DNA sequence: CGTCCTTCTGACCAATTGGTCAAACAACAA
DNA sequence: TTGTTGTTTGACCAATTGGTCAGAAGGACG
C-alpha cells in the first residue's frame, strides 16, 4: 500500500512520520510556515528531503497534519471545564492547566500563534468549526455562573480571551519575558507567573468583594 | 549625494521612503520577515523592485529601519507613566493607551509580535538596551506604589506582562477574536474589551478590597 | 540649449526552494 | 534463491527570490 495513507502501517513508517512531525513542530513553531524549509525539517528529522517527501506529499501537508493533530490537545483544557463543578475552581483549574501548557508545550503555543498572527490562512475553517462552538458552549456556562451570582459579573468571551492571552504570553513571548525579567527570575518565570495570574483571575471572579 | 543616506533630502525621496516603509509595515506584519518578499513590498509601495532597492540596500535594511523607527512610538505609553501621578490612574491610563494602540496600530503590534515570536533575531539588542532599562525603571515605580500601599501588592514585572498580553491580544490575535466572538461584537471588539480589561486591572490593583 | 544629478527600468544572475523520478537498496516471505 | 513490497537516495527541474547593473528617462539650472 502507499505510504501516504491515513494510518502508518509499518514500524518504520510510524517512527519516521513521528520524527517528521516532531521536527516540523520544532521548525514551524520557531520560524513560521513560510519561513521554514522542507530541508530544515528533513535534516531535523534525520532524513533526506526526498525521503521526507515519501511520507508526506508536501510541506503544506505536514503543516496541516500538525495543526490538526494538535488541536485536540490544545482544546482539551477548555473541554475539561465542567458546568457541574464549583465555578471559581473550574475556571481557576482551567487557568492553571493553560499556564502549565505554556510551560510544557511552548512550541505548540507558538505554532498556533504564528498561524493566527498571520491571518490563520490554514486555520480559519478549524476556528469556526471547532473552536467557536466549544467557546460558545463554555461561554454560556460562564454566563450562567455569572448570572447566578456564583462568580462576579464578567463578559464570558473576553474572560476567555484574557485567560488565553495571559497564559500563552509566557510561551509566545518567552524571549521578551526572559530578556526583561531580572536575572533571578529569568531562569524560570513560571512560578511567579502562576502566582500573579492566579491572583488576577481570583480577584476578577470572586463575587461581592 | 547617494540615496541611501540617513535623512532623505529631496521630496521624491521622502515620499518614496515613506511609501516603502508603509508598504513594508503592511507586508512584514501580515507575513513575517521571512514570509515577505521584496517584490510584494515594492508592489504595495507602487515601485519596481530595483527602484525600491535604490532607496534601501536590502530587505533586511527595510526591516531594521521599520523596527527602529517604530520603537519609540511603541514604548511611548510606558514612558508616559509618571511616578508623580496617582498610582491607580497612571496604570489605568497606561492600560487604556495600550489598548488604543492595539486598535489604532494593529500592524505595528503584529510586527513586533512576529519578531518576538520567532526568537527576536533582529530585536535582541533593542530588547536589552532599550526595553529592559525602561521596564526596570517603571517596575521600580510600581514597586514603590505597591510598598506604600497605594495599590494592592503586585509583582511589578508580571503586572506589566499582563498589561501587554491583554491589550496586544486584540491586535495580534484579531482573526481569532473576531472568529470566536458573537456576530454582534465581532465587528468591533474594542468597547467590550476596554470594559473587561479596565475591570480586571482595577480589581487587581485597588488596595484593600 | 546642454549639463549634472537624481530617479527609474529591463535584463540578468546566482542561490534557494518545493517537488519529481528512476533506480538502488532493504526486508521478508515463499 | 527469487519475487514482492516498502524505503532511500542522487540527480534533476522549474519557479521564486534577493540583489546587481548598465543605461535610459526626468528634472533643475545655467
pLDDT in tens, A151-182: 999 999 999 999 999 999 999 999 999 999 99
Q: Give residue A122's pLDDT.
A: 84
- The partner residue sitting opposite A196, judged by closest CB among B32, B155, B192, is B155
Instruction: Name chain A contacts of B32, Cβ cutoff 8 Å.
Output: 32, 34-35, 114, 117-118
Nearest nucleotide by C1' position to the B61 CA atom: D18
Low-confidence ranges of chain B (pLDDT < 70): 1-8, 209
Q: Give residue B58's pLDDT.
A: 98
Q: Give residue A168's pLDDT.
A: 98
Residues 16-55 of B with CB under 7 A from strand D: 36-39, 49-50, 53
A123: which residues sit within 8 A by CB, 6+ positions away? A67, A112, A115, A116
* Assembly ipTM: 0.92
- The partner residue sitting opposite B35, judged by closest CB among A32, A181, A199, is A32
Q: What is the pLDDT of residues A38-62, one digit of tens each?
A: 999 999 999 999 999 999 999 999 9
- Specify the residue for cell string 492566579: A198
Predicted model pTM: 0.94
Which CA distances in Å does A19 have to A42, A47, A52?
A: 9, 9, 10
Instruction: Name chain B contacts of A177, Cβ cutoff 8 Å.
Output: 161
Pick among A59, A106, A117 to test the B interface (most B CBs inside 10 A): A117
Nearest nucleotide by C1' position to the B10 CA atom: C6
Residue by residue, DSSP assigns chain B as --TTSSS--SHHHHHHHHHHHHHHHHHHHHH-TTT--HHHHHHHHT--HHHHHHHSS-HHHHHHHHHHHHHHHHHHHHHT--TTS-HHHHHHHHHHHHHHHHHH-HHHHHHHHHHHHTT-TTTHHHIIIIIHHHHHHHHHHHHHHHHTTSS----HHHHHHHHHHHHHHHHHTHHHHHHHS-HHHHT--HHHHHHHHHHHHHHHHSS--
A37 touches strand C (CB under 7 A): yes
**Between chains, do A172 and B196 touch, taking CB under 8 Å as contact?**
no
Q: Give residue A7's pLDDT.
A: 52
- The partner residue sitting opposite A204, judged by closest CB among B30, B193, B200, is B200
Which CA distances in Å does B7 have to A115, B4, B14, B105?
A: 37, 8, 9, 25
B64 touches strand D (CB under 7 A): no
Q: How far apart are CA A17 and CA A126, in angstroms?
A: 23
Q: A150 to chain B nearest CA, in Å?
A: 17
Q: A174 by DSSP, 3-state: which? A: helix
Q: DSSP secondary-structure letter at A80?
A: T
A-B interface: how many C-beta pairs under 8 angstroms? 169
Instruction: Name chain B contacts of A110, Cβ cutoff 8 Å.
Output: 117
List the pLDDT tens digit at each of the 209 positions of chain A.
Answer: 333 344 557 888 999 999 999 999 999 999 999 999 999 999 999 999 999 999 999 999 999 999 999 999 999 999 999 999 999 999 999 999 999 999 999 999 999 999 999 998 888 888 899 999 999 999 999 999 999 999 999 999 999 999 999 999 999 999 999 999 999 999 999 999 999 999 999 999 999 85
Q: Give residue B124's pLDDT.
A: 84
Amino acid at each position: 500500500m502507499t505510504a501516504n495513507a491515513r494510518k502508518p502501517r509499518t514500524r518504520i513508517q510510524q517512527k519516521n512520520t513521528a520524527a517528521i512531525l516532531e521536527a516540523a513542530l520544532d521548525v514551524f513553531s520557531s520560524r513560521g510556515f513560510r519561513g521554514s524549509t522542507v530541508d530544515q525539517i528533513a535534516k531535523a528529522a534525520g532524513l533526506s528531503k526526498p525521503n521526507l517527501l515519501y511520507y508526506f506529499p508536501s510541506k503544506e501537508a505536514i503543516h496541516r497534519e500538525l495543526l490538526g493533530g494538535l488541536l485536540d490537545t490544545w482544546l482539551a483544557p477548555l473541554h475539561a471545564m465542567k458546568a457541574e463543578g464549583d465555578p471559581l475552581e473550574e475556571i481557576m483549574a482551567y487557568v492553571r492547566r493553560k499556564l502549565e501548557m505554556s510551560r510544557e508545550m511552548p512550541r505548540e503555543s507558538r505554532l498556533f500563534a504564528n498561524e493566527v498572527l498571520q491571518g490563520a490562512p490554514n486555520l480559519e475553517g478549524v476556528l469556526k468549526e471547532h473552536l467557536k462552538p466549544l467557546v460558545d458552549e463554555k461561554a454560556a456556562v460562564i454566563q450562567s455562573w455569572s448570572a447566578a451570582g456564583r462568580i462576579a459579573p464578567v463578559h464570558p468571551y473576553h474572560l476567555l480571551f484574557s485567560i488565553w492571552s495571559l497564559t500563552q504570553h509566557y510561551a509566545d513571548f518567552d524571549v521578551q519575558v526572559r530578556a526583561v525579567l531580572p536575572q533571578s527570575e529569568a531562569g524560570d518565570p513560571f512560578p511567579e507567573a502562576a502566582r500573579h495570574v492566579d491572583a488576577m483571575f481570583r480577584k476578577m471572579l470572586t463575587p461581592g468583594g
